[in-house]
Amino acid sequence: MTQRLNYAQLSPEQYKKLLDFSAAVKNGVIEAGIVDLIEIRTSQINGCAFCLDMHVKQATIRGESALRLHHVAIWRESPLFAPRERAALAWTEALTKLSGEIPDELYERVSGRFSEKEISDLTFAIMSINAWNRAGVAFRTVPGSADKAFGLDKAGLN
């Protein structure tokens, strides 16, 4: 499978705005470990190979365990995730697989683990990775193709 086009070169203003948006998300109040988990889970759901590869490498560099990374896809059954992480992953799935309604029970579970500001920042983080996934899937961005540029070669997962 080959990359279809280089959207960063073809639409540099939009690409830069999305980068800026993603940087703002990273500066939010949600801890990096939870952002890693939601980026990985969203990328799994959306089938974005480039983003999944990138975010697994980023999480590895930040010290996330290999077993927890393998368990993101089965987080409901896995004993490795804390209640706050589980709430974030449930919110991630609901916002990524939109069905037209977010159940009150889920919102209450999330609001029991996150402040209003955190829920807002978490939602924007989910929105950001969904945007990147759509570009990665649409244009078949090759996994690992930007490792050196993003410093992901430090993960030792080549």
The domain spans of the chain are: 15-153
Averaged over 141-146, what is the pLDDT? 89
* pLDDT value at 7 more than 90: yes
CA–CA dist 127, 114 (Å, integer): 17
- Identify the pLDDT of residue 1: 63
Contacts of 53 (CB under 8 A, 6+ apart): 143, 144
* pLDDT value at 147 more than 90: no
* pLDDT value at 126 more than 80: yes
What's CA 120's distance to the chain center, in Å? Answer: 15
Query: Which CATH code is given to the segment(s) 15-153?
Result: 1.20.1290.10
* pLDDT value at 2 more than 70: no
134: confidence class by pLDDT, cuts 50, 70, 90: very high
Percent over 70 (pLDDT), the chain = 98
Instruction: Return the HEC string of 58-96.
Output: HHHHCCCCHHHHHHHHHCCCCCCCCHHHHHHHHHHHHHH
Across the chain, what does the average pLDDT equal? Answer: 95
The two structure tokens encoding residue 58: 């980023």
Where is pLDDT greater, at 4 or 130? 130
- Identify the pLDDT of residue 68: 98
Summarize pLDDT for 55-107 with one digit per residue, the tens: 999 999 999 999 999 999 999 999 999 999 999 999 999 999 998 899 999 99
